[in-house]
């Protein structure tokens, strides 16, 4: 994974670059496999520590031009802003919902047990809503693809 900066733009836009391999090609979509590795898993001593930090992820690309085929090595480019948005939806907003629900329930009911249950229970409708709107969210997370020249 690399971060690219374009200094010619007023607001510096960071891009994240991943190398991947095309797994499937269809008329309207490419499925690309990338290996997501933590910083320590790419170390020369990964056999002596936690090499389980390497995970394969599938990325679906809907807007592309060019001729691609399964097994081809490509670069996937995403905007860093998309990562920040994903972290917000996946971690920050749920934390805020749990915390606010906990504080409100304790102040209203004065029951720690009920406050704990309700604050964790608020996550069920939140993640159900994320699941329900997953197709709409996919549209806001767009990636670009480019072939790796040999």
Per-residue pLDDT of 106-142, as tens digits, reads 999 999 999 999 999 999 999 999 999 988 888 777 7
Q: How many CA atoms lie within 13 A of 72 on its CB side?
A: 17
Give domain limits for the chain. Answer: 2-147
What pLDDT, on the 0 to 100 scale, is given for residue 150? 55
**CA-CA distance, 130 to 137, in Å (whole number)?**
8
Per-residue pLDDT of 31-56, as tens digits, reads 889 877 665 555 655 555 555 567 78
Q: What token pair was written down for 6?
A: 């374009």
Q: For residue 8, is pLDDT > 50? A: no
**CA-CA distance, 40 to 36, in Å (whole number)?**
12
What pLDDT, on the 0 to 100 scale, is given for residue 65? 79
Per-residue pLDDT of 69-118, as tens digits, reads 888 898 888 888 888 898 999 999 999 999 999 999 999 999 999 999 99
Determine the straight-line distance between the first and last CA of the chain, rounded to whole angstroms.
19
pTM of the full structure: 0.64
């Amino acid at each position: 994974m690399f971060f690219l900066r374009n200094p010619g733009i007023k607001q510096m836009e960071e891009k994240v670059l991943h190398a991947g391999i095309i797994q499937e090609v269809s008329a309207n979509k490419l499925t690309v496999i990338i290996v997501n590795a933590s910083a320590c898993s790419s170390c020369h001593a990964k056999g002596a520590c936690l090499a389980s930090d390497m995970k394969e992820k599938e990325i679906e690309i809907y807007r592309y031009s060019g001729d691609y085929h399964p097994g081809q090595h490509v670069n996937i480019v995403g905007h860093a802003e998309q990562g920040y948005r994903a972290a917000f939806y996946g971690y920050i907003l749920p934390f805020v919902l749990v915390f606010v629900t906990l504080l409100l329930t304790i102040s209203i009911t004065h029951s720690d047990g009920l406050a704990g249950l309700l604050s964790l229970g608020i996550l069920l409708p939140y993640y159900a809503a994320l699941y329900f709107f997953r197709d709409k969210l996919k549209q806001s997370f767009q990636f670009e693809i480019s072939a790796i020249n040999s």
